[in-house]
Structure 1
Amino acid sequence: RLITGKLKAAQAGNYLIAATEKQGLYGVGPQAQTTWFVPGAGILAEHNDDVAFQGTGREDGATMFALKDGGVLDPQFPDNTELLNTTIFDGGFAQQFTTKPGHDFVQFFDTAGRFTTTKRFEGTLGGSAANLTGIADSDSYGVYTPQGVKLLRISGGEPHGIQLIGTTLWISESDNVTQSTVYRPYDMRTGDKGEPCEFNLGSGYLGSDGTVAVRAPGNPKSDLLADAWDLSTCERAWSIPRSGPLGRIVRLGDTLVRLSDDGTELFALVSP
């Protein structure tokens, strides 16, 4: 296959892809060779472990495709609507549409682009975690399953970041005193809410074992490669300092993988 542009590597779930600006996205094989190709703008958009979106570079929205083989999918999007935001979750995605300014609604789809429910939910997308999605309407914020079942309602119509750890749903709030983002826990079994913690589970969140939450700051100028926060005390449990410009920590499956600070070595992180 003739490649006329520069390839840029990107991680999508457990897959490696290569992007060429204004041309499209390539799959990458075990010998670093390009495999499948999906034409488009060459920018990886929302994705989970199974599917991804790529902008087309035109006004007709985005292309949805399977990460395994690059197969293009045709979602059951409603006619005469404009595509706005997309939120990917485990097992599918939620799409925000508009028919005219101020008239937005959300619908849920599986990873093949089929409806999981045909119901339309008035409002705008506001975060996702595991298989849960937040939707903000005029006076409240609701957390829904892929089948459209509302599990939690919070007053106020502003969007929130969410993160599900075990049976606890952490929802972002703005701390007006410190002018920062905090996360408050909600017990999904009872709906009870706890005290907010002064950490951000939306910025670079990698995962949790139920006791600590691990993050990797996305800013390459950050002093830390990663840190972990105790979910019961809201205190930092450990951190890994950054000592070089190329260092990075990512999650592959259940393993944390570190790129050395000089960019020459890859190794897995294990418990001390």
Structure 2
Amino acid sequence: MVVGGGLFVWRTFGSHSAHTDAPIGTPASSLISFPLDKKPVPGWRLTAADIGLPPDVTVGALFTSTADHAYFVADKTDPQGLSPMGWLYGVDIHSGKLLFPPIALAGFRGYPLGECYGNGPAVAVCLTTGDAERGLPQTAWVIDLEHGQITFTGPTDLNPQGTSGPDKYIVTAIGNYFGETRLVARREGEGVYGIGSNAQRTWFVPGGGSIFDSGYRQVTDVPAPTIATQNAALETPDAPYRMFSAVDGTDLTPTPPEGTIIRRSLVYNQGFAYSFRESGKHDGLLFYDTKGNLVGRYQDKEHDLTPVENPVMPMARVPSKPATWQVFSSAGEPVLSIPAPNAAIYFKVIGSKIFVDQGGTEDRWQQWDLQTGESGSVCQMGLSYDYVGSDGSVIIVSDGAAPNLLRAVDPATCTTLWEIAESEERKGLGLWRVGTGLIQHTEYELTQLTAGP
């Protein structure tokens, strides 16, 4: 069929396709489950002493969670950095009860020298860099989160996410930041490995070893993805990016139709896409479900499409006059066309709205309705690294200028509905969305937040 503006859409659904009814926006099940128009009130509370942490050790940081459980790691060392120590513990987010007492990780160095990750819903892997001068080895711990037990401790050549170096094995957590993840190890020019029960490298997908994650250290409101993409190997620079399962390493890189060349790929909720080229035609997009079934194809008769990273819905830039951002469903159906005056821009999908960063340093975002196509207000609020969560109508962010100030914004009017500010009693204030709930943290206390009166 032909869609306005000379855009040609051809869709094919295989017998195993899961995309005939592709969702628009983020699912309600991934949003905060209670209204945020009123300031939340405290529920259960846990102090560092309640948790069983040693004196002067803070409650630490959330590193992974499921729908019902949250897992944290705390750390401390002496002034000389000779005796670092970590503690890992879990909390039932509904009752506030400990899942198990803190597990001691002798030699664990806090972020950025050490970090813990989820490797599936019931396993954690903690890594710490070494320091030869201080006699500290590079170490890995594997923890059974169901039973609260260390199942492996030993030396490792794995390095925490964010480490750099061409000869290093660097881990990447595939999934949702603060949510469920799968851990892989990558090495530049070599490829990607799975990580096993003893923190060893297991399955292998050859490639360039660079994993593309547009949502790194950003909260997203979709189920945790279990697929990822890496660049092609250096010796085959024109080969397509390699799509793979972060669960078992299954290579999902598709074989394109005859006469079609595929190259760059995108990962988003419920699928992935590849840019493609055919002789004498403009570049388009091929859409696949998470099992690798082709579910749609989109091509413009007049312009090449440039894929745009978005973890919720696939997008592309169309260099028409004026240029536009084209938003698609996971089935490859065109959903919304947005003016694109700026080529370097960021996006955030929350509920049935997409927010477009207006550029500059003021963190101004304009909303568009994915259902009606109508534009809305332009609000000043951080929707990338400062985004906490939303109920679909009200958005909670930390203030970029004052990171220990939390505020709830009504994006329809840009009004701040309520705030939570750091105080003498609330040092180190922050807020995490866990499952569909909220946990406030200060240096020495975790507090559940529930619906306000």
* Alignment TM-score, normalising by the size of structure 2: 0.45
Letter of the 2:245 partner, please give it.
Answer: A
Q: Which has the higher strand share?
A: 1
2:376 is the counterpart of 1:194 = yes
Map of 2:351 onto structure 1:
166
Which of 30, 33, 36 is matched with 2:203 structurally? 36
Tell me the SS of whatever aligns to 1:45: coil
User: 1:271 aligned to 2:449?
Assistant: yes
Instruction: Determine whether 1:53 maps to 2:229.
Output: yes
1:8 & 1:257 partners in 2: Cα distance? 30
Instruction: Give the greater-gyration-radius structure (CA).
Output: 2
Q: Contact 2:388–2:397 (CA<8 Å) still a contact in 1?
A: yes
Using the alignment, how far apart are the partners of 2:387 and 2:292 within structure 1? 27
Query: How far off its partner does 1:256 sit?
Result: 8.4
Unaligned runs of 5+ in 1: 262-266
Give the paired residue count: 254
Q: Displacement, 1:27?
A: 1.6
The more displaced of 200-209 and 117-126 is 200-209
Give me the whole-angstrom Cα distance separating, in 2, the residues matched to 1:187 and 1:150: 14
- Describe the superposition over 1:167-210 as per-residue Cα deviations: whole angstroms up to 9, x where unpaired: 22222324xxx664521122334333221012342456564333
Equivalent in the alignment of 2:286: 107
- Distance in 1 (CA, whole Å) between partners of 2:168 and 2:438 is 29
- Which residue is 2:20 aligned to? none
Residue 192 to residue 152, structure 1, CA distance change in 2 (3 Å): same
Deviations 1:64-106 (A, max 9, x none): 111111111231435453514x321101122223458994322
2:325 is aligned, of 122, 141, 156, to 141
- Structure 1 length-normalised TM: 0.70
- Secondary structure of 2:449's aligned partner: coil
SS in 2 for 1:271: strand
Whole-angstrom CA distance in 1 between matches of 2:199 and 2:438: 21
Look up the equivalent residue of 1:51 and give its one-letter code. Answer: I
Instruction: Render the CA deviation track for 1:205-250: whole Å, top value 9, x for unaligned.
Output: 5643332245798xxxx9848966524435494578xx99xxx999
User: Which residue of structure 2 lines up, in the alignment, with residue 12 of structure 1?
Assistant: 174
CA–CA distance in 2 between the matches of 1:149 and 1:38?
Answer: 31
Deviations, residues 131-168 of structure 1 (Å, cap 9, x unaligned): 35344341333222122322222345755533221222
Question: Structure 1 residues 37, 156: CA separation in 2 closer, same or farther (over 3 Å shift)?
Answer: closer
Percentage identity across paired residues of the two chains: 24
Partner of 2:267: 88
Which of the numbers 136, 150, 153 marks the counterpart of 2:337?
153
Does the aligned pair in 1 maintain the 2:232–2:241 contact within 8 Å? yes
* 1:125 to 2:125 alignment: no
**Is the 1:94–1:109 contact (alpha carbons within 8 Å) kept by the matching residues of 2?**
yes
How far apart are the structure 1 equivalents of 2:419 and 2:280? 46
